[in-house]
A and B are shown apart, each in its own frame.
Chain A
């Protein structure tokens, strides 16, 4: 059983890697064509001789299958290749960007998920009453608006118009902090709007799932038992009901961790936040294949790993699943 699961994930990874390899090669365009064009400030031109040399260097002159083989070998060794545009190791570039994105995603899932779940519980408890109806309406709207639109709204209103928050970036450029506390404060200050944006979207999703799940659970016999026992509302709601409603909520949490990575790619671009999202945009612009592949791989690995975590957690949360 367990081996079967492991094998399933192994196959998934293999498919992802394969897709990741072939996808950019199907895409139109050529990194050397871009490097040699007038894209941005890059004005370096290459002669045919130079291009051939680069192609040989990156192994692009070999047959595709051979390229695929060496790509696989590289990945197993942890080597994601060499960025054509940045001229440095892809792994290092991504490693530098990951903390920004991951902290954004984690924070927003924790904040948005917590708030959404709590509101969902209260809404389910008050089901059919005014407060439930109002909350439900708001949350449906929030959960349907794309993250970047909310981000743009915050950017225009809170940053540009009111000037409360910075317009872009992850920290003050060229800053010289007096203490580490100052540094943390500055990072929090910069990260506030992107986190808020992603949290809002997360909250909507979590609210809907929590409310739904709680309503189902609230009609179960054991809730009647708990009420008959004269237990307090808090205990009924959070010990008896929520623990049973938690399964779909936790699934949602890890599922959205994966999704939020996708969301953050766009939101980061809105705020020019120095995470994987901004990096990806740049990489796509210049057809930097090794980098694009590296980012893809990182993001998909993240999603798959989150799914695996859900699988494991499921068992821990529901002892009936064997």
Chain B
């Protein structure tokens, strides 16, 4: 019904050009609803205004907007007026000035009815009352002036006004911003009810996932005017393919009731016009991203993603892992047909009781331990022994006990620099610089006194930081952290966890966090793997597993931990 193709909007002013919307294409059928999500300034609202054809004259628009096979962009202003509001209407973002302050609600709703439906004044009056009641307002509101309405009432009036001529397409811009929780829920409820009743196609523009998930079955993720990901809302939430989408999900308080919120890091360098628009903020960028703009391509049946690397890359993939220990004739099955898949920048919590085989699995994944059978691939290459732990941008492990994992007699400098020395990477000066940077990253001192301190003089928390710094000097893509905080006091534990998560957010490495502590897992994990007696019994996005555990064992675990 509505088909937008290659729509671009460029604002020019003061000799500068701003590409607000770039080559956006999508289509919408009757009764369908589509969400557009993105940070502020991503071009969402401009896109909505462009479809309405009401951008200011400083905006240059190219591309086509087809409504029922008619290209709206080719119509004259007068012809377009006949489509506006009657066929395509918009619920504008709620603001004090969005309604004319000197005209009553009645007049403002009525004027569109009279203009487009050619109804007599008196009949229009009763239609206005009908509309107001439909959106849950008293008919007497008709005589009010905008300044006499509350924010929630104004939002309802805006909806009533948009529906005045029974449009076939409704564009809704930030319908709940600046509303309190109750009004917000009511407005969402109202919009969803009206859409079911009237079967209009709806475009919901919002930066709030809770709005999009409730109102839109499919969604587009916009960044700097480009659509970076498109697909079914539920699929995207469970499995975001673009790093930006994941960043948005991680910043959403409604989707992360337990986890700390981490915004997407700010851009360090400027975007180039020819490269990927997300390049400066992307944690998995490569050289190609700087020079080549990715196209929105199908990644699966109903999913498109615009990324030169096909979306978030899968770092490690393991399947069919088996490992049995023999001890005095007893066979202990530590891993039974285990599998795992980790994508870049992800935190997986591997949860299980002690003895469930977590550490064995982690050791196998990193290549320290040979499995009896099974395959492990790191970036598509099969892992053979220490190959990836002994080179930069590979896999690193941090262990539970910082007192035994680092030689007591080493100075801090030696402890952190050792991997570089062994692997003979970089020259001496550069090694020292990297050591210092790693120490700064883990929030330790980097002066000579500290560098020359022996490790046995450090506290547990400091030593764990040193251990983390030691793994960070090799810039790992995957960090396996085995119960790293279990020996620390709560405050040090909190500091180390926040530190790791922060580093993970800016440096973008993936992490397998092995723990038996569900509270901590809930605080930091994106995905959960639950292990029981050598088997992976449940996997899924953390919020899903915590809210609705599927396996018997997980439920038991949750209830024992007092979480469910």
Interfacial residues, chain A to chain B (CB-CB below 8 A): 220-222, 224-232, 235, 239-240, 243-244, 317-320
B82 touches which one: A230, A243, A244 (CB < 8 A)?
Answer: A230
Q: Are B97 and A243 in contact (CB under 8 A)?
A: no
Q: Are A230 and B81 in contact (CB under 8 A)?
A: yes
Q: Are A228 and B84 in contact (CB under 8 A)?
A: yes
B86 touches which one: A230, A235, A320 (CB < 8 A)?
Answer: A230
A224 touches which one: B54, B81, B82, B85 (CB < 8 A)?
Answer: B54
- Expressed in whole angstroms, the minimum distance between the Cβ of B519 and any Cβ of chain A is 47
Q: Mark B70-100, 1 if CB is under 8 A from A, else 0.
A: 0000000000111111100110100101111
User: Can you show 16 pairs from A to B with CB atoms below 8 A apart?
Assistant: A221-B92, A221-B98, A222-B101, A225-B100, A228-B54, A228-B84, A228-B85, A228-B89, A229-B112, A230-B84, A231-B112, A243-B103, A317-B102, A318-B101, A318-B102, A320-B101
- From 134 to 160 in chain B, residues with beta carbon under 8 angstroms from any chain A beta carbon are 145, 147
Q: Are B100 and A231 in contact (CB under 8 A)?
A: no
Residues of B within 8 A of A239 (CB): 103, 111
Q: Are A243 and B98 in contact (CB under 8 A)?
A: no
Q: How far is the CA of A226 from the CA of B99 in the complex (A)?
A: 9
Q: How far is the CA of A244 from the CA of B100 in the complex (A)?
A: 8
Q: Are B95 and A229 in contact (CB under 8 A)?
A: no
Contact-residue size bin, chain B (C-beta under 8 Å from the other chain): 20 to 34
Q: Are A229 and B97 in contact (CB under 8 A)?
A: no
Q: Are B111 and A231 in contact (CB under 8 A)?
A: yes
Is B556 part of the contact surface with A, judged by Cβ < 8 Å?
A: no
B97 touches which one: A221, A235, A319 (CB < 8 A)?
Answer: A221
Is B193 part of the contact surface with A, judged by Cβ < 8 Å?
A: no
- Expressed in whole angstroms, the minimum distance between the Cβ of B168 and any Cβ of chain A is 14
Residues of A within 8 A of B86 (CB): 230
Q: Are A319 and B102 in contact (CB under 8 A)?
A: yes
Q: Are A319 and B145 in contact (CB under 8 A)?
A: yes
Residues of A within 8 A of B95 (CB): 221
- Expressed in whole angstroms, the minimum distance between the Cβ of B78 and any Cβ of chain A is 9
B147 to chain A: closest residue by CB: A320
Residues of B within 8 A of A318 (CB): 101-102
Q: A221-B98, A225-B99, A231-B112 are in contact. List 5 more A-B contacts (CB 8 A).
A: A222-B99, A224-B54, A225-B92, A227-B84, A243-B102
Interfacial residues, chain B to chain A (CB-CB below 8 A): 49, 52, 54, 80-86, 89-90, 92, 95, 97-103, 111-112, 115-116, 145, 147, 161
Residues of B within 8 A of A231 (CB): 81, 111-112, 115
- Which of A220, A224, A240 lies at the interface centre, i.e. has the most chain B CB atoms within 10 A of its CB? A224
Residues of B within 8 A of A221 (CB): 92, 95, 97-98
Q: A228-B90, A229-B111, A231-B111 are in contact. Are A220 and B103 (CB under 8 A)?
A: no
Q: How far is the CA of A267 from the CA of B161 in the complex (A)?
A: 53
Q: DSSP majority for the A interface? A: helix
- Expressed in whole angstroms, the minimum distance between the Cβ of A176 and any Cβ of chain B is 53
Q: Are B84 and A225 in contact (CB under 8 A)?
A: no
Q: How far is the CA of A319 from the CA of B144 in the complex (A)?
A: 11
Q: How far is the CA of A238 from the CA of B84 in the complex (A)?
A: 20
Q: How far is the CA of A239 from the CA of B112 in the complex (A)?
A: 13
Residues of A within 8 A of B81 (CB): 230-232
A227 to chain B: closest residue by CB: B54
- Which of B49, B103, B161 lies at the interface centre, i.e. has the most chain A CB atoms within 10 A of its CB? B103
- Expressed in whole angstroms, the minimum distance between the Cβ of A213 and any Cβ of chain B is 13
B98 to chain A: closest residue by CB: A221
Q: Are B85 and A229 in contact (CB under 8 A)?
A: yes
Q: Are A229 and B101 in contact (CB under 8 A)?
A: no
- Expressed in whole angstroms, the minimum distance between the Cβ of B500 and any Cβ of chain A is 45
Q: How far is the CA of A232 from the CA of B84 in the complex (A)?
A: 12
Q: How far is the CA of A244 from the CA of B108 in the complex (A)?
A: 14
Q: Are A232 and B115 in contact (CB under 8 A)?
A: yes
- Expressed in whole angstroms, the minimum distance between the Cβ of B173 and any Cβ of chain A is 11
Residues of A within 8 A of B161 (CB): 229
Residues of A within 8 A of B85 (CB): 228-230
Q: Are B52 and A228 in contact (CB under 8 A)?
A: yes
Q: Are B115 and A229 in contact (CB under 8 A)?
A: yes
A224 to chain B: closest residue by CB: B54
Q: How far is the CA of A235 from the CA of B101 in the complex (A)?
A: 16
- Expressed in whole angstroms, the minimum distance between the Cβ of A123 and any Cβ of chain B is 16
Q: How far is the CA of A222 from the CA of B95 in the complex (A)?
A: 10
- Which of A220, A222, A229, A317 lies at the interface centre, i.e. has the most chain B CB atoms within 10 A of its CB? A229
- Which of A220, A227, A228, A231 lies at the interface centre, i.e. has the most chain B CB atoms within 10 A of its CB? A228
B112 to chain A: closest residue by CB: A229
Residues of A within 8 A of B111 (CB): 229, 231, 235, 239
Residues of B within 8 A of A244 (CB): 100-102
A319 to chain B: closest residue by CB: B145
Residues of B within 8 A of A230 (CB): 80-86, 112, 115-116
Q: How far is the CA of A229 from the CA of B86 in the complex (A)?
A: 8
Residues of B within 8 A of A235 (CB): 111, 115
- Expressed in whole angstroms, the minimum distance between the Cβ of A228 and any Cβ of chain B is 5
A246 to chain B: closest residue by CB: B102
Q: How far is the CA of A220 from the CA of B95 in the complex (A)?
A: 11
- Expressed in whole angstroms, the minimum distance between the Cβ of A238 and any Cβ of chain B is 13
Residues of B within 8 A of A222 (CB): 97-101
- Expressed in whole angstroms, the minimum distance between the Cβ of B34 and any Cβ of chain A is 19
- Expressed in whole angstroms, the minimum distance between the Cβ of A247 and any Cβ of chain B is 9
Residues of A within 8 A of B103 (CB): 239-240, 243
- Which of B49, B54, B147 lies at the interface centre, i.e. has the most chain A CB atoms within 10 A of its CB? B54
Residues of A within 8 A of B101 (CB): 222, 244, 318, 320
- Expressed in whole angstroms, the minimum distance between the Cβ of B46 and any Cβ of chain A is 12
B93 to chain A: closest residue by CB: A221
- Expressed in whole angstroms, the minimum distance between the Cβ of B97 and any Cβ of chain A is 4
A222 to chain B: closest residue by CB: B100
Q: How far is the CA of A298 from the CA of B242 in the complex (A)?
A: 78
- Expressed in whole angstroms, the minimum distance between the Cβ of B484 and any Cβ of chain A is 53
- Which of B81, B92, B102 lies at the interface centre, i.e. has the most chain A CB atoms within 10 A of its CB? B102
Q: How far is the CA of A52 from the CA of B100 in the complex (A)?
A: 70
- Expressed in whole angstroms, the minimum distance between the Cβ of B164 and any Cβ of chain A is 9
Q: How far is the CA of A229 from the CA of B97 in the complex (A)?
A: 16
Q: Are B84 and A226 in contact (CB under 8 A)?
A: no
- Which of A222, A230, A231 lies at the interface centre, i.e. has the most chain B CB atoms within 10 A of its CB? A230
Q: How far is the CA of A229 from the CA of B95 in the complex (A)?
A: 17
Q: How far is the CA of A237 from the CA of B402 in the complex (A)?
A: 74
Q: How far is the CA of A226 from the CA of B147 in the complex (A)?
A: 18
Q: How far is the CA of A225 from the CA of B108 in the complex (A)?
A: 10
Q: How far is the CA of A244 from the CA of B111 in the complex (A)?
A: 17
- Expressed in whole angstroms, the minimum distance between the Cβ of A314 and any Cβ of chain B is 13
Residues of A within 8 A of B98 (CB): 221-222, 225
Residues of A within 8 A of B84 (CB): 227-230
Q: How far is the CA of A255 from the CA of B419 in the complex (A)?
A: 83
Residues of A within 8 A of B83 (CB): 230
- Expressed in whole angstroms, the minimum distance between the Cβ of B384 and any Cβ of chain A is 63
